[in-house]
Structure 1
Amino acid sequence: MQTELSTISIFVTVVEAGNFSHAAEQLHLTRSAVSKSIARLEERLGVSLFKRTTRTLSLTDEGTLFYEHSRRALTEINTAESLLDQGKISATGLLRISAPVLFGQLYIAPLMVELGQQHPDLQVELSLNDRTIDLVEDGFDLAIRIGTLADTSHLIARKLGDHRMLLCATPTYLQKSGPVHTLDDLQSHTTIAYPYSGHLQKWHLQDENKQDYAVKPNAKFMLNDMQAIKHTVLAHHGIAWLPDWLIHNELHDGSLVQVLARFSSVYFPIHVVWPRLAYMPLKTRLAIDQLITILPSQLKL
């Protein structure tokens, strides 16, 4: 049953002052006003909070329980008011996040470590897994999803950027092996591909006119780790199809160049998603703010 905060504050003051008269002096109220407030509180709660005699005032068992919880609640409220007065907003507790392995390592982990450093009482758990988890069932506060979202009626989503796959190689490899002018030219080049369940997946490409193409690479090297494929490409061993966010810096500094630049995969959205709840914890809101403020600019080529 909800009670007025001011009445609870009066109750706590009476307990700590030892009697109604001393509490009234501290609160700048009459003894009668304090007594009536306690009587109304007891009526709302349906219990007696004090054992009263002509000379002493002591707590009942119910009063002791109510005091202990009320004291903690008022302390938390005072702390919150103090933080607001200081212009500080601090998150506490455990923040659990799920993200794809490689994307999480490169982009999500640094941002969440930074968030944890900004909030000393916040504990951050980042679970890196390429499977789609159930946030509510698995107990996560938020997750990063790459690709078209499934039915998310029970989730809220905010787009962070886009993901696409690009053909790339080093200038040294292309000088040694010759230029690539058409998709057919790929068959005469060394390619490095990602196998899935023991099978090579086709490279699904789209040109500037939105025409779709599917190329099955005749791969010399097959590696089931995108970072390993990237390192192999950087060592001048061939052409690969890699996420744009993975080779962002290398395209900028020229250590990698895009092959057949008019072709790329379709764009897939990158979202942060979280459970649809009546109340969003501060830790979750601050994590989402961190992601939507910083990540979009990091993902732009």
Structure 2
Amino acid sequence: MDKLTSLKIFRAVADGGSFAGAARELNLSPAMISKHIARLENELGTRLFNRTTRQVNLTEAGTLYHERCRQLLADLEEMDASVSELGGSPSGILRITAPMDFGPQYLIPAIKSYQEQHPKVRVSLTLSDRFDDILKDNFDLAIRVTSDLLDSSLMVRAIADTTVGLYASPAYLEKYGTPRTADELVGHRGIHYSLSRHGPCWNLPEGSGTRKIAMEWSLDVNNGRAQCEAAAQSMGISQIPDFIAGNDLANGRLVEVLPELAWHNKIYAIYPHRQLLSPKVSSFIDHLGNYYRQHKNW
């Protein structure tokens, strides 16, 4: 039996948790699936799955083997795609991680536009507000809204401009007053982004540096869209990017507070430092830059 085929079958069973599902996915008989798994287990001298009549679960050895198998197959698929792309159009799977609040409204349309030009590229998109390790987690590309770009093993390209400002509802400001200076933020209720690297404070530009003002937060939440909604519900003042606040700002649910203290920031495409960058990655980054120059609508 072909070892590469066995590994692909093992991955399909492990990912789906089913021999029958893997058989359907790979258009093979269940008996053939079982033979390949049995061959792998015989070669390794250990069980990869615990099987019951209802479910199939990875053993401890199977979990370890699955992690290495996925990485190996991903590298092989990337190698094949990179070589084939040199003689043709971009193709293969493009693995992207992006912020939860940016992806649905602003990244999905850009992906759609890209795939209309490059239909052979499939996109695997993971939305997360945490900074996933793109090397460890095998992403081709990350979209980040940050000023902390310290990892020298990564390449960075700016694809769009954004601002991070202070927002509150008209009702909140009518009740508690509108801050006219940074000092007047003291004592106001805040909505804290729990994944912030700056802690529970308002992080404000001051000259060429930064000023931090302690926040008396009413809500601590790990999602920017939830921050925005809490501010619109008059729960406090929230410091969020304009692409999150834009809709509520336009319809009057939010107003900007102290706009002169907004951070002027950038949205970045971040990718591993490689001498030979895959055409699907380079073409997608180019597309994002062009797309947002034409369609930046936040």
Normalising by structure 1, what TM-score? 0.59
- Out of 207, 219, 222, the residue aligned to residue 221 of structure 1 is 219
Amino acid at match of 1:190: R
How many residue pairs end up in the alignment? 211
Query: Cα gap change, 1:139/1:230 in structure 2, threshold over 3 Å: closer, same or farther?
Result: same
- Give the secondary-structure state (helix, strand or coil) at the position aligned to 1:270: strand
What's the C-alpha RMSD, in Å, of the aligned pairs?
Answer: 3.2
The structure-2 alpha-carbon separation of the partners of 1:140 and 1:124, relative to structure 1 and needing over 3 Å to count, comes to same
Partner of 2:147: 147
Shift of 1:291: 0.8
Name the amino acid aligned to 1:150.
L
Q: After the TM superposition, which residues 240-251 of structure 1 pair with which residues of structure 2 at under 5 Å, given as runs?
A: 240-251=238-249
Distance in 2 between residues matched to 1:193 and 1:139, nearest whole Å: 31
Decide whether the 8 Å contact of 1:113 with 1:124 is kept in 2. Answer: no
8 Å Cα contact 2:190-2:237 kept in structure 1 = yes
Tell me what 1:282 maps to.
Answer: 279
Once structures 1 and 2 are overlaid, which stretch shifts more, 228-237 or 116-125? 116-125
- Secondary structure in 2 matching 1:262: helix
Deviation at 1:256, TM superposition (A): 1.9
Distance in 1, Cα, partners of 2:156 & 2:178: 42
Native 8 Å contact 2:134 2:140 kept in 1: no
Is contact 1:234-1:255 (8 Å) kept? yes
Flag the 1:254–1:277 CA change in 2: closer, same or farther, 3 A.
same
The runs of 5 or more residues in structure 1 that have no matched partner are 1-75, 81-89
Structure 2: gaps (5+ residues): 1-83
Q: 1:291 aligns with which of 288, 291, 294?
A: 288
- Where does 1:123-272 land on structure 2 (aligned, <5 Å)? 123-129=122-128, 130-135=130-135, 137-145=136-144, 146-152=146-152, 154-196=153-195, 201-207=200-206, 209-210=207-208, 212-265=210-263, 267-272=264-269
Secondary structure class of the residue paired with 2:238? strand
Contact 2:134 2:272 in 1 (8 A): no
Question: Residue type of the partner of 1:214?
Answer: K
Distance 1:277 1:200 in 2: 34
Give the equivalent residue in structure 2 for 1:95: 94
Structure showing greater radius of gyration is 1
CA contact (8 A) 2:95 2:139 kept: yes
What TM-score comes out, normalization by structure 2 length? 0.59
